[in-house]
Amino acid sequence: MYRTYWIAWGVLLALTLTMVVLDRAPLPYGVFLIVMLTAMLVKATVIAAYFMHLRFERWPLVLAIVLGLPINAAILYILIVPDARRIFEMINR
């Protein structure tokens, strides 16, 4: 039972260390961005699948969480960014 968690933890650790090493590597910006975003998506998938136990759930629940998180993030972005821009403009006057 714990073997699965240790493997998932090892994968997350390896991805994190790879990202830290690649941060110092002289890569073109586009390649760097694609590699980092891919690694972050893989890490999020491993966390959701194993530590949130979504690997063993029914698809409607998985879809509700997978689709609900980006929708929630977009709503928060739409609500927060205008206020942040207003504050930034007030400070820089």
Within 13 Å of residue 64, how many CA atoms lie on the same side as its CB?
6
pLDDT digits (tens, 9 = 90+) for 50-78: 777 767 777 777 777 778 888 998 999 99
Burial 37-61 (b: 16+ CB within 10 A, else e): eebeeeeeebebebeeebeeeeeee
Residue 1: its pLDDT value, please?
67
Give the C-alpha separation, 57 to 70, whole Å.
20
Distance CA 4, CA 92 (A): 51
Q: Is the pLDDT of residue 39 over 80?
A: yes
pTM for this structure? 0.63
